[in-house]
Chain A
C-alpha cells in the first residue's frame, strides 16, 4: 500500500511535505539536473528584493564541525529580473514555487508583496524577516514583535496568496514572535532561519568571514530547530514548517512529530543536490515500513 504523503499547507497542496529552503536551491532551475522537482512538495526561491542586491564581500562561507556559516548578504537579481528571467522556468514545473522576499521598510515589503501577488506562477509567499546578515531590514523586523506584526499586516493586505513568515531563532522567545505574526494575518510560519554565529582564524587573529558574523546552518542546529518548532506548533493554530539541519528522512519525520506540517531542506542540498527528492522518497519508505498510511497522522504526534 502506498502511503498518502500529501499535506495541505495553508491552502498550498503539497504532494509530500518536503520543500527546499530559500537561498539553498537557487530559483529551482539550477538543481533540475540533480533533483526531480516533481518529486518534492514545493521549492522556495532565493530571497528577492525590489532592486538587485550585491551582497557581502568574500569570504562569505566557512565550514565548522557539523555546520556552515554564511554571510551572503541577500545577493539577488531583484524582482524585475526575477519576473523576466526566472518565472518562465517556474511555469514549466508542476510543483508549487514559493517566492521568498524581504524589504528595507514596511512599504517595500508591501510593494513587493503586491508585485508577487500578480505572478500566477508563484503559488505562495514567504516573508523573510529573519536574515542575520544585513544591517537594514531582515533581522530588525524579525526580532521585535511589533515590527514583525506591522510587516505581516502590510503584506497581508497586499496579497490573496498564502502567506508564510520565516522566523528567526535569534530571539529570546520565538513563541512571542510566532503569535505576533499569526495575529497579524500570517497563514503559516516557517522556522528556523540561521543562527547568528562566527568563526575566527587564530593564526591571522581575524574573523574568517568578511562580514565577521554569519548565519549558522547544517545538522549542528537541528536540536535547537526541533525545540523551537515544537514550542511554536503548540502555541499557534496555523501550520508550521520545520527547518534546520534536515539531512535525511529521519530528521524530517522528527520535525513532523514535533508539530511541523511540512519541512524545508536547506544546507543538505549544497552537499547533495538531490537531497530533497531523496528525503521525500525515504520518508515514504519509512511510512510504508511502519504500516502508516497517511503522513498527516504523524503531524504533532510526539508523545510526551
Chain B
C-alpha cells in the first residue's frame, strides 16, 4: 500500500547510521519480518527513485494528545551512503514521507523450539531485529553481528533486551572477536550439537560465505538480499538474482523485490 508517514523520530545511533521511526497504517501490524518499504525521500526529481529499506521494527505508540488511540509505527535502520540517505538523515520529527509497503516476501519463522542463529553484517542488521523479536517467542536465538569496526555494530543492546545471546566480531578487533563474523559463526556451529537454522542479512560476500557454511553442514538457511531496484513491485526487473540452476541457456532470475528479499540460500546461485 502507498501512504504518507509522519516522522516521529530520526536519530544517529552510531556514526553514519540512523534510526527513524514513523507513523504507519493499521495494516502494518501484520507485516512480516524481512519485508521492506520503498521510501521517497522528497517530491523533487533528484533523487528520482524511491529507496528500499528493511523494516527494523513495528510497534504502537500513544500520541501526545489526551484520549488519542494507540497508533502503529514502523522503524528503519539505515546507513547514509549517498544523496538520498543524506536527505533522509536531514529530516525531522513531523516531516512527511511517501512510503510504499510492506513489500516482498519475508522470513519463514521455522519450527518453534529449535535454536535460531541470526547473522548480520553492518546495516544488514536492519531487518533482523523484527525477526529476532518474533523468533524469541518460541525459540532460543543467538545473534552474530559483524562489521569493519565497532561503530558498524548496531543496536546490540536492543537484541540483548529481547533475550538474544549476542556474539560480535569486527575486522579491526575493536569489539568482540577479531575477524569476520562468519568465523565466529563457524566456531559456534562447531560447538553446537542441536539442530539450528540460520537467518542472514548483510553484504553479498558475507551472505555467500554463510550460504556455503550452511550448505556444507546441511543447515537450513535463509538470506535477505539487497538489489538495485526502481519499483519494488516486480516491474522494473532491475533487482534480479540468479537462481540455483541459472544459466544463459536456462535463465532463472528471481525478483528480489517480490520473490525475495528473503530466499532459502539453497535456491540461489553462489560462488563456491
A interface, CB within 8 angstroms of B? 23-26, 30-31, 33-34, 46, 52-55, 58-63, 65-68, 70, 72, 75, 218-220, 247, 267, 269-274
A269 close to B235 (CB less than 8 A): yes
Does B48 reach chain A (CB closer than 8 Å)? yes
- On chain A, the residues within 8 Å of B2 by CB distance are 34, 272-274
Contacts of B248 in A (CB 8 A): 54
Instruction: Say whether B228 contacts A61, CB under 8 Å.
Output: yes
Q: How far is the CA of A218 from the CA of B45 in the complex (A)?
A: 9
Given A33-B1, A67-B48, residue A54 in contact with residue B235 (CB < 8 A): no
Query: Which residues of chain B are near A72, meaning CB under 8 Å?
Result: 236-238
Q: Does B58 contact A (CB under 8 A)?
A: no
Min distance, Cβ A271 to any Cβ of chain B, angstroms: 6
Contact (Cβ within 8 A) B228 A270: no
B91 within 8 A of A: no
Interface residues of B, Cβ cutoff 8 Å to A: 1-2, 40, 45-50, 98, 100, 227-231, 233-241, 246, 248, 251, 253
Bound complex: CA of A124 vs CA of B224, how far in Å?
Answer: 40
In the complex, chain B residues whose CB is within 8 Å of the CB of A24? 231, 235-236
- Return chain A residues, CB-CB under 8 Å to B227: 58
Give chain A nearest CB distance to B85 CB in angstroms: 13
Q: Given A58-B228, A60-B228, A25 and B240 touching (CB < 8 A)?
A: no
CA A61 – CA B228 in complex, angstroms?
6
- 25 A-B contact pairs sorted by A residue (CB < 8 Å): A23-B235, A24-B235, A26-B235, A31-B235, A33-B1, A53-B251, A54-B248, A54-B253, A61-B228, A61-B238, A62-B228, A65-B46, A68-B49, A72-B236, A72-B238, A75-B237, A218-B45, A219-B45, A219-B48, A220-B45, A270-B231, A271-B48, A272-B2, A273-B2, A273-B231
Given A60-B228, A270-B235, A273-B231: A75 and B253 interface contact (C-beta under 8 Å):
yes
Closest 5 CB pairs of A and B: A54-B251, A61-B238, A270-B230, A26-B235, A270-B231
Give Cα A52–Cα B247 distance, bound, in whole angstroms: 13
Q: Is the CB of B45 within 8 A of A66?
A: yes
Complex CA distance for A72 and B233, rounded to whole angstroms: 16
Complex contacts, A23 vs chain B, CB 8 Å: 235-236
> A51: nearest residue on chain B (CB-CB)?
B251
